[in-house]
C-alpha cells in the first residue's frame, strides 16, 4: 500500500512540474520618463506662476505598453529631496508653510501605446479660501506605471511664484 501511495504522489508531483509553462515574455523593464527634448516642460529649476496655466510636455515610453501616470506638486520649504536630477537649483531659505499649494492628479494613457508625448494644460490657481498660496521652492513629481505594474518616478525641483 505504501509503495502505491509513493508512486501516486510521485506521479502527481511530476505532472505538476511538467504541466507548468515557462512564460518567456515576462516584462521586467521599467517605463521611462523623458524631459530632455527641446520643448519639454517643466525641467529641473523651472518656474511656474500662480494664476497661470502651463503645458505639461514630457515623453513617456515603455518596452511593451504604458498604463497611467500621475503628477504631484508640493512644497519643499524644508528642503527635503525627491530629486532625480543631477542639477542642483538655488533654494530659498527654509520656512514654515502658511498656505502651501498642493496638486495631485492622475491621467490614463490610451490602451496599446508604448510611447506617449503629453501636451496637457494645467491651470495653477492664484488663491484658495485661505488667501494667496505660498511662493517658494516646490517639487514637481511625475510617476509613470506600465500595464504590468512597473513604475518610474521623476522628481524635479521648481519655483512657484506670483507675478
3-state secondary structure the chain: CHHHHHHHHHHHHHHHHHHCCCCCCCCCCCCEEECCCCCCECCCCCEEECCCEEEEECEEECCCCEEEEEEEEEECCCCCCCCCCCCCCCCCCCCCCCCCCCEEEEEECCCCCCEEECCEEEECCCEECCEECCCEEEEEEEEEEECCCCEEEEEEEEEEECC
Q: Is residue 109 part of a domain?
A: yes
Which range of residues forms the domain containing residue 143? 27-161
Quote the number of domains for the chain. Answer: 1
Q: Is residue 36 part of a domain?
A: yes
Q: What is the CATH number of the domain that holds 109?
A: 2.60.40.2550
Q: Is residue 89 part of a domain?
A: yes
pTM of the model: 0.82
Residues 7-58 have pLDDT tens digits of 766 666 666 666 655 556 778 899 999 999 999 999 999 999 999 999 999 9
Amino acid at each position: 500500500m505504501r509503495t502505491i501511495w509513493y508512486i501516486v504522489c510521485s506521479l502527481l508531483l511530476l505532472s505538476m512540474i511538467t504541466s507548468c509553462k515557462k512564460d518567456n515574455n515576462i516584462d521586467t523593464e521599467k517605463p521611462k520618463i523623458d524631459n530632455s527634448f527641446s520643448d519639454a516642460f517643466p525641467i529641473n529649476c523651472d518656474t511656474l506662476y500662480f494664476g497661470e496655466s502651463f503645458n505639461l510636455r514630457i515623453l513617456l515610453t515603455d518596452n511593451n505598453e504604458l498604463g497611467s501616470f500621475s503628477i504631484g506638486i508640493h512644497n519643499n520649504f524644508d528642503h527635503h529631496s525627491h530629486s532625480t536630477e543631477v542639477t542642483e537649483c538655488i533654494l530659498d531659505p527654509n520656512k514654515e508653510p502658511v498656505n502651501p499649494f498642493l496638486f495631485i492628479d492622475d491621467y490614463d494613457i490610451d490602451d496599446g501605446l508604448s510611447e506617449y508625448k503629453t501636451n496637457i494644460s494645467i491651470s495653477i490657481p492664484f488663491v484658495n479660501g485661505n488667501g494667496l498660496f505660498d511662493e517658494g521652492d516646490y517639487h514637481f513629481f511625475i510617476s509613470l506605471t506600465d500595464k504590468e505594474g512597473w513604475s518610474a518616478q521623476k522628481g524635479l525641483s521648481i519655483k512657484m511664484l506670483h507675478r
